[in-house]
A and B are shown apart, each in its own frame.
Chain A
Amino acid sequence: MFISFFYLLRSRELDVSLNEWLTLTEALDKGLAGNSLTGFYYLARSILVKSETDFDKFDGAFLEYFKDIKTYEELPKELLDWLNNPKEKKNNYDKAQDEKNLQLSLEEIQKMLMERLAEQDSEHNGGSYWVGTGGMSVFGNNGNASNGIRVGGVSRRHSAMQVAGERHFRDFRNDTVLDIRQFQMAFRKLRQFSSRIEAPKTELDIDSTISETCDNAGNLKVVYQRPRKNTVKVLLLMDSGGSMDYYNNLCSALFQAVQKSSHFKDLKVYYFHNCIYSMLYKDPYCMYGNWVETEWVLKNISSDYKVIIVGDASMEPSELYGRSYYNYGARTDTPGIEYLKRFKAKYKNLVWLNPIVDMGWRTGYWRQTYDALKKEFDMYPLTVQALDKAIKKLLVSK
């Protein structure tokens, strides 16, 4: 059933698996969709879609697939207009009528509504039979009946086509190519365990316990040890702005993955524009004044930090080799390459991640600095596989 809907969803890059599809079929068998399109919409969405970022894709596909279906919810426009502007509400609550109404099921009410709509040709307000406002009938807006269908008016009971059509979740879309999780998994490998940390001794040391107990003539003597923790400290230096804007999504995924990797002992992040000069910025906007001296970083961040530089290494050659004549406020008469070399000299574990996956077709001066820096540093493209390699590189000393 609906197999082509399944393939439509898959072609819309919704990662729906056969398993989930079978679950949906099972749910339909159990009648969980309540024989309505709205029910089916919510049922399918909650089973097939697992992130609010994908809701929009689902809405789009749903609209396309079911666009020709006529539903009960569709009403003539004049009717809606009139119902949306209720006439004065009368105090006409009728208990007997209400009790009679309560006997009706939703299906019966829907059926009655369709019949009534066929008969009715004028406005009715305050009555108990026709569709109207402020009345006791089971249909209409702003009425006094306890149950029934609200026709028109502002309602939270949206129909499926309305909900899908509103595309509420458009803002949630994130068409990032790479999953943050994949990056995170790669960063997990960046760890070196050591028990030489300052933490309370909370783990049972089995070997020592056995040997101490033996020494103690068989009387139990429990020995605890410190848990082993990751000791990796990371210094992340990110290029921001300019030619890097093309890679915003990719870099922000990487950044989030690093940020969320709570297993690092310490993480420091600084930003630079094009190349590292005398100042490193504290945020990606690289605003004048919001910075620390590069010299300070080199002095105070010890050499056991693992350094990851993220940048496209593409700039005007003078920005790399030249002394200051064009100024962002951070440049002095020490050329950028000099600072980069200082980082390389100080930190044994340093890699360069480059969002440019394939430099193949590019030529010109951008190419020059790319090639030069590639020779100077261990440069890896920013893909999951290459990131794995880069992290291995960070863990072994040269």
Chain B
Amino acid sequence: MNQKQTFKGSSDYVVSDELMRAVNIAMALEKPLLIKGEPGTGKTMLAQAISKALNKKLIIWNIKSTTKAQDGLYVYDVVQRLYDSQFGAEGVDNIKKYVKMGKLGEAFSSDEQVILLIDEIDKADLEFPNDLLWELDKMEFYIPETKETIKAKKRPIVIITSNAEKELPDAFLRRCIFHYIQFPDKELMEEIVKVHFDNLDQKLLDSVMDAFYWIRNLDINKKPSTSEVIDWIQALEIGGISAEKIKSEIPFAGVLLKKNEDLETVERSRRRFRA
């Protein structure tokens, strides 16, 4: 057995206590970690942070609506082989030359342990997670074309993220460790912001936090998240806005809110608030 590794967050990723536990549990039990949470709570960032903290290579498999489970394992380029055979190119009889590993295959055949991020699994077809059950359980798959079994040399640490656009099948869920990232509270958020900005005026930060959580509590459609607040602070710093103005004017609101209705809602409540 390899020595026990634990994850304690990294220099540019602030991790909550619960999340840290979940990551360590998943690593110790060698099961995939399924991360759900509001957009912008740093689900994808987590894998990068783990990879950095444990100094392991990160392999990202981005899922799209057209992605099939097979794509992650391997692709057999038949057409290329047919063409090559026409012109008598060398090595046509070697099927292996035409079998290209997908992201999962890449992770399995790596000599060192890697972190595999399956990003936004809910984007794919409903059956997609079911098609990966065996592969994620046993960490191996068979390539009929070459009669080879690809088995993970070192079980990769698998992180799966989901935005809950589709419900995932039970059989799949049962094999995962689950963690729901809650939206950070003020205290944690301040910590996160401080990681991104070296010397931020505490007064500015306070009024940003006040304004931000005030906006989030309004009845708006698309609530601003961590990445937006960071962009906002950047904009405020560049614009040289004073801390007093932030709460009363909400400058650069377009950075925080992406929908017209939401901007209007904030504008309306702001006026009421001042009156």
Q: Are both chains from one complex?
A: yes
By a beta-carbon cutoff of 8 Å, the part of chain A in contact with chain B is 15, 17, 19-20, 23, 26-27, 30, 32, 39, 42-43, 46-47, 49-52, 55, 154, 156-157, 168, 179-181, 184-185, 188, 204, 219-220, 222, 260, 262
Residues in B with CB closer than 8 Å to A30 are 28-29
Rounded to whole angstroms, the CA-CA distance of A222 and B79 in the bound complex is 8
Chain B positions 75 through 101: 1 when the CB is less than 8 Å from some CB of chain A, otherwise 0: 000110011011000000000000000
Closest 3 CB pairs of A and B: A52-B180, A50-B173, A181-B167
Q: Which of B79, B169, B179 contacts A204 (CB 8 A)?
A: B79
Q: Which of B21, B25, B165, B174 contacts A19 (CB 8 A)?
A: B174
B201 within 8 A of A: no
A185 close to B126 (CB less than 8 A):
yes
- Specify the chain A residue showing the minimal Cβ separation from B188: A156
A179 close to B176 (CB less than 8 A):
no
B167 close to A179 (CB less than 8 A):
yes
Rounded to whole angstroms, the CA-CA distance of A184 and B22 in the bound complex is 30
B234 within 8 A of A: no
Rounded to whole angstroms, the CA-CA distance of A10 and B36 in the bound complex is 23
Closest chain A CB from B101 CB (angstroms): 21
B176 close to A50 (CB less than 8 A):
yes
B18 close to A26 (CB less than 8 A):
no
Chain B positions 1 through 36: 1 when the CB is less than 8 Å from some CB of chain A, otherwise 0: 000000000000000111001101110110100101
Rounded to whole angstroms, the CA-CA distance of A398 and B6 in the bound complex is 63
B28 close to A46 (CB less than 8 A):
no
B178 close to A260 (CB less than 8 A):
no
Residues in B with CB closer than 8 Å to A188 are 126
A20 close to B24 (CB less than 8 A):
no
A23 close to B29 (CB less than 8 A):
yes
- Specify the chain B residue showing the minimal Cβ separation from A31: B28
Closest chain A CB from B24 CB (angstroms): 7
Interface size on B, residues (CB 8 A): 37
Rounded to whole angstroms, the CA-CA distance of A39 and B22 in the bound complex is 10
A157 close to B178 (CB less than 8 A):
no
- Specify the chain B residue showing the minimal Cβ separation from A182: B167
Q: A50-B178, A168-B182, A185-B126 are in contact. Are A222 and B82 (CB under 8 A)?
A: yes
Residues in A with CB closer than 8 Å to B31 are 23
Q: Which of B25, B82, B176, B188 contacts A43 (CB 8 A)?
A: B25
Closest chain B CB from A206 CB (angstroms): 9
Identify 11 residue pairs between A and B in the complex whose beta-carbon atoms are under 8 Å apart, listed by A's number. A32-B29, A46-B22, A46-B177, A46-B178, A47-B25, A50-B173, A50-B178, A156-B17, A204-B78, A220-B83, A222-B79
By a beta-carbon cutoff of 8 Å, the part of chain B in contact with chain A is 16-18, 21-22, 24-26, 28-29, 31, 34, 36, 65, 78-79, 82-83, 85-86, 126, 165-167, 169-170, 173-174, 176-180, 182, 185, 187-188
A32 close to B187 (CB less than 8 A):
no
Closest chain B CB from A30 CB (angstroms): 6
B25 close to A46 (CB less than 8 A):
yes
A17 close to B25 (CB less than 8 A):
no
Residues in A with CB closer than 8 Å to B187 are 154, 156
Closest chain A CB from B102 CB (angstroms): 18
- Specify the chain B residue showing the minimal Cβ separation from A43: B25
B25 close to A50 (CB less than 8 A):
no
Rounded to whole angstroms, the CA-CA distance of A91 and B18 in the bound complex is 33
- Specify the chain A residue showing the minimal Cβ separation from B175: A19
Rounded to whole angstroms, the CA-CA distance of A375 and B74 in the bound complex is 54
B28 close to A27 (CB less than 8 A):
yes
A51 close to B178 (CB less than 8 A):
yes
Q: Which of A17, A39, A168, A179 contacts B21 (CB 8 A)?
A: A39
- Specify the chain B residue showing the minimal Cβ separation from A158: B17
A50 close to B34 (CB less than 8 A):
yes
Rounded to whole angstroms, the CA-CA distance of A260 and B163 in the bound complex is 13
Residues in B with CB closer than 8 Å to A27 are 25, 28-29
Rounded to whole angstroms, the CA-CA distance of A123 and B266 in the bound complex is 47
A17 close to B82 (CB less than 8 A):
no
Residues in A with CB closer than 8 Å to B26 are 46
Residues in B with CB closer than 8 Å to A42 are 18, 21-22, 25
Rounded to whole angstroms, the CA-CA distance of A185 and B167 in the bound complex is 11
- Specify the chain A residue showing the minimal Cβ separation from B167: A181
Residues in A with CB closer than 8 Å to B65 are 262
B180 close to A32 (CB less than 8 A):
no
Interface-central residue, B21, B79, B169, B182, by most chain A CB under 10 Å: B21
